[in-house]
């Protein structure tokens, strides 16, 4: 079981949304040091000041995780000055929310760089010290969108499919070599943060941010392989494997209203979840 009390925790995209809430939940459970990486300097400062005022040990770094050289430099600085990270939340992510042909080439590149390559490079910096110590926990925030496709989310879906496959592969590597490092993959439905403002779901409930954060932290404490929310997301692989494709489209896409859920999308297009 992963122990949060006394742990050193790092959260990417940790100045807002569920990233901030997951960090706060860890502090409330006794984490010794919360390290926040975020590209928004104003929100980063506000979050660090607010949590520090409550007596917690919190530090923050302004960083764009698409800049690999910055990730390596700042990661090495953390390892050198603070010590190995016990729990890493790969949380930073962005979405554009347009039909594929409406994406600019720059938008395609940025979504894949933040959601996929950025997460990989952050993990690559901190995993070796976890393996050397024989303990640690990597938490990768994927999405239910990484399990089923949806209109107006093509590039985002592609990125989350990639995160899901990569995260599971790393878990298998860690387990096969008995490294002691745990990997949890998180696949939530829409979460009601600014990232998904305007999204509508008539049947599947949109997840509240605090509920999402608490569920992820509990999953870490219990060393769960997957953390899916709400409960119906656990049934998605079953339906996907059992039903013919057109039936699956009808059930998930039309009857559950998922295919029209992004019609009113107004969300911020370049923030952490």
DSSP code, position 208: P
Q: How far apart are the first and last CA of the chain?
A: 26
Mean pLDDT in residue range 112-141: 98
Pairing outcome for strands 8-12 and 33-38: parallel
Active site residue 156: yes
Q: Which of 56, 99, 156, 234 is catalytic?
A: 156
Q: What's the rounded Cα separation, in Å, for the pair 229 and 215? A: 8
Total domains in the chain come to 1
Write down the pLDDT at residue 268: 61
Q: What are the tens digits of pLDDT across the range 230-247?
A: 888 888 888 878 889 898
Least Cα distance to 78 among 137, 36, 140 occurs for: 36
Is 40 a member of any domain?
yes
CATH of the domain at 249: 3.40.50.720
Q: Give the number of C-alpha atoms closer than 13 A to the C-alpha of residue 166, restricted to the C-beta side.
A: 21
Write down the pLDDT at residue 160: 97
- Find the Cα–Cα–Cα–Cα dihedral 67, 72, 77, 83, rounded to 10°: 130
Is 268 a member of any domain?
no
Mean pLDDT in residue range 119-125: 98
pLDDT tier for residue 52 given thresholds of 50, 70 and 90:
very high
pLDDT more than 90, % of the chain: 76
pTM to 2 decimals? 0.93
Handedness of CA 47, 52, 55, 58 (dihedral sign): positive
Range of the domain at 218: 8-260
Any alpha helices (H) in 29-115, and if so which ranges? 41-53, 68-81, 105-112
Is 142 a member of any domain?
yes
Is 175 a member of any domain?
yes
Is 1 a member of any domain?
no
Mean of all residue pLDDT scores within the chain:
93
Handedness of CA 186, 188, 191, 195 (dihedral sign): positive
Write down the pLDDT at residue 98: 94
Write down the pLDDT at residue 56: 98
Is 50 exceeded by the pLDDT of residue 48? yes
């Amino acid at each position: 079981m992963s122990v949060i009390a006394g742990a050193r925790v790092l959260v990417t995209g940790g100045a807002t949304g569920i990233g901030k809430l997951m960090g706060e939940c860890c502090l409330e459970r006794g984490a010794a040091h919360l390290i926040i990486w975020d590209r928004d300097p104003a929100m980063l400062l506000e979050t660090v000041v607010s949590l520090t005022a409550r007596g917690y040990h919190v530090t923050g770094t302004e960083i764009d995780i698409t800049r690999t050289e910055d990730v390596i430099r700042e990661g090495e600085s953390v390892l050198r000055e603070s010590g190995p990270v016990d729990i890493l939340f790969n949380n930073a992510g962005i979405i554009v929310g347009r039909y594929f042909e409406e994406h600019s080439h720059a938008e395609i590149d940025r979504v894949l760089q933040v959601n996929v390559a950025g997460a990989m490079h952050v993990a690559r910096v901190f995993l070796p010290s976890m393996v050397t110590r024989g303990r640690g926990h990597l938490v990768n925030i994927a999405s239910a969108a990484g399990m089923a496709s949806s209109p107006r989310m093509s590039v985002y879906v592609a990125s989350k499919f990639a995160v899901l496959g990569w995260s599971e592969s790393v878990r298998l590597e860690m387990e096969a070599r008995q490294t002691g490092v745990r990997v949890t993959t998180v696949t939530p439905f829409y979460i009601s943060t600014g990232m998904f403002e305007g999204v509508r779901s008539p049947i599947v409930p949109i997840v509240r941010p605090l509920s999402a954060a608490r569920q992820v932290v509990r999953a870490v404490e219990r060393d769960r392989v997957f953390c899916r929310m709400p409960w119906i997301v656990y049934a998605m692989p079953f339906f996907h494997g059992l039903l013919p494709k057109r039936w699956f489209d009808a059930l998930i896409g039309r009857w559950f209203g998922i295919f029209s859920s992004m019609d009113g999308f107004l969300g911020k297009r370049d923030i952490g979840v």
